[in-house]
Amino acid sequence: MVNSQILRDTVLAAYLMDCSSLIILRLDVQGTVREASSYARSVLGENVTGMFFTDLLVDFRKTFDLAQFRSELAPRLLSFLTPGGMPQTFRVSYLPCGKDGFMVGEHNAEEFEQVQSSMLKLNQEMANISRELQQANAEYRRINEQKNQFLGMAAHDLRNPIGSIISYMALLLEDGDGLSPDVVNILKDVSSLADFMLYLVNSLLDYSIIEQGRLVIEYNWTDFGLLAAHTVAVNRLMAQRKGIRLECTPVDVGQVYCDIHKVKQVINNFLSNAIKFSPRNSVITLRLVYDPAHVRLEVADQGPGIPQGEQERLFKPFGRTSVKASEGEESTGLGLAISRRIVESHGGTIGVESELGQGSLFWFELPRRKADV
Amino acid sequence: MGESQPDLEMFYQRYLYGLLDGDRAGCQRIVQELLDRDISLKDLYYHILQRALYDVGDLWEQNKISVAREHMATAMTEHLLTMVYPRIFSIPRCGRRAVVSCIANEFHQLGAKMVADILELHGWDAFFLGSNTPVSDLVSMVREKRPDLVCLSLSIQFNLPALLTTLDHLGKAFPDLPVIVGGQAFRWGGSERIADYPAARYASSIYVLEEMVMAW
């Protein structure tokens, strides 16, 4: 009977020490670990034997009293340091056994389950939110495409009637003998407004084409210096009306592989903006800088400058700033956004350097040869 | 995708082992590789994601893996599905709407979510309400979204009475609104009870559901 009980206890003890998921540590009177279960060694490290029990614990406030714990015999939650660095918490009981005693730590299965199900619930919620977000994004993309299509159609359909208004105005002003000076002035105002409307409609059309991903770059080898000089000449009349001097030193920068019309549109945009925002009798300078691989065009004005915090907005659609045109000239808010897309489609970069009261310098840089965009 | 079946099988075996190992990054790489090879989303859903979940479920039923591992596989699949969404949601819309939901006390939502995604693949706008949706929430969502179809998922058989109660409520509030029910719970019977509800139909598999949707 006694033998069979010893045998049973031995079998059970061997199972608990070798196979169970229990932290079992035999401590001597000083609190040194003399023996450790297989699971304890896997969690706390193979060299746990010989260490002081208190050194195994995460005890930030140094409140753990081994002697008191041994005397109270009440289970307690203790967090152990692990070689992986992640502390693990066990519900630990002390079982006295002669001079020595056993520390037995077990996982709290109920807590484990709760944490697991909370994590699963959180994961589900996160995945659902992610789904809704992507669904909403797709919807916004669709709406945006519809908006661009509408914009394109509206701009396209408006272009012809505005063109007719401009033609009729020109005819009236040409053959308008006998019209009073007041009427002529009104007709000139209407004509100028119609010009602006056409410009606005064309910008909207350009923008919608770009936004729909239909911007086509038609590459040709182009004399870049000549292109810049020609665009300056076109803008000179508008500058002269405000007494502004447009300076451009002719430079032979050689050939650049680009879309001549679209790059001209960008230079035009830089120059017309500079004229709009510059005070009367100031100077605008166009400069070309180049190296064997790139060409850079800069337009510097003596305008009011752009506040630092507003500069990023400039190249976004309708990204207006607090700076006003010097004589109330109108603008669409699309020119620089279109310019950015054109330059980037060439594999180039675009930017501005400006300080309040110090004028602005708009620049763009293109690779001489076609870049992989 | 010009992927032959043996290749797909090889991807599947790698994916399943990754799922059982908890190797989320590995599974993500496999799904990304398949997407890069332009696998059809149906193939990805049916032959990789869904098949793996069924196999994981079988392994759990045979006590070959723990429930924790089965949960981990489910959680990983939920995450991997998000990789497919940009493609699913960019498919042109057909103008039809569906509300897809689990009933109250049903916490297994992945099957229902896949149903919602299959509907999206066919151009439907599928509003997925998630797990454990109370009847009152379901009814108010149907009232708000005015869908052409409601899909309900049942994965635990003892929730069948709750499903029937839900069908009662929907039938009273929206007598003509078609409802499709399905889910793993019907593997042990109960589908015949659906015949008592004139607007409701039972879809025995995701393929059957897809046929119903295509015939809409």
Q: How high is the ipTM of this complex?
A: 0.76
The chain A residue lying nearest B127, using CA atoms, is A132
- How would you label B161-175 residue by residue, b for 16+ Cβ within 10 Å and e otherwise? ebbbebbeebbeebe
pLDDT surpassing 50 at residue A37: yes
- Minimal Cβ distance to A130: which of B68, B82, B107: B82
pLDDT surpassing 90 at residue A34: yes
> What is the structure's pLDDT at A1?
59
CA distance A108 to A274: 73
- A146 shares contact with chain B (CB less than 8 Å): no
> What is the structure's pLDDT at A120?
85
Q: Write the pLDDT tens digit of every residue in B130-142.
A: 999 999 999 999 9
pLDDT surpassing 80 at residue A44: yes
pTM here is: 0.64
> What is the structure's pLDDT at B4?
55
Helix/strand/coil for B123: coil
Burial category of B27 from C-beta neighbours within 10 Å (exposed 0-12, middle 13-18, buried 19 and up): buried
> What is the structure's pLDDT at B5?
57
**Residue B90 near residue B41 (C-beta atoms within 8 A):** no
* Contacts of residue A194, Cβ cutoff 8 Å, sequence gap at least 6: A162, A165, A166, A169
Average pLDDT over residues B92-117: 91
* Alpha-helical segments (H) within A19-108: 38-44, 66-72
> What is the structure's pLDDT at B2?
47
Closest CA–CA distance from residue B68 to any residue of chain A (Å) = 8
- Minimal Cβ distance to A131: which of B68, B93, B128: B128
pLDDT surpassing 80 at residue A319: no
Q: Which value, in Å, is the radius of gyration of the alpha carbons in chain B?
A: 17
Is the Cβ pair A124, B109 closer than 8 Å?
Answer: yes
User: Over pLDDT 70: what percentage of chain A?
Assistant: 99
- A137 shares contact with chain B (CB less than 8 Å): yes
pLDDT surpassing 90 at residue A61: no
Rounded to whole angstroms, what are the CA distances from B133 to A117, B52, B106? 17, 26, 8
Q: Write the pLDDT tens digit of every residue in A237-266.
A: 889 989 999 999 878 888 999 999 899 999
pLDDT surpassing 80 at residue A371: no
Is the Cβ pair A134, B89 closer than 8 Å?
Answer: yes
Q: How many residues does chain B have?
A: 216
Least confident of A112-126, B70-84, B116-130, B145-159: A112-126
Quote the DSSP letter at residue A316.
S
Which residues in B lie closer than 8 A to residue A142 (C-beta atoms)? Answer: 93
**Residue B14 near residue B30 (C-beta atoms within 8 A):** yes
CA distance B148 to B125: 10
Residue B59: other Cβ atoms inside 10 A: 17
Closest CA–CA distance from residue A166 to any residue of chain B (Å) = 41
- Nearest Cα to B103, choosing from B177, B176, B156? B156
> What is the structure's pLDDT at B67?
83
Which helix H or strand E contains B127, and what residues bound it? strand B125-128
pLDDT surpassing 80 at residue A233: yes
Q: Write the pLDDT tens digit of every residue in B41-78.
A: 888 988 999 899 989 988 988 888 888 888 889 999 99
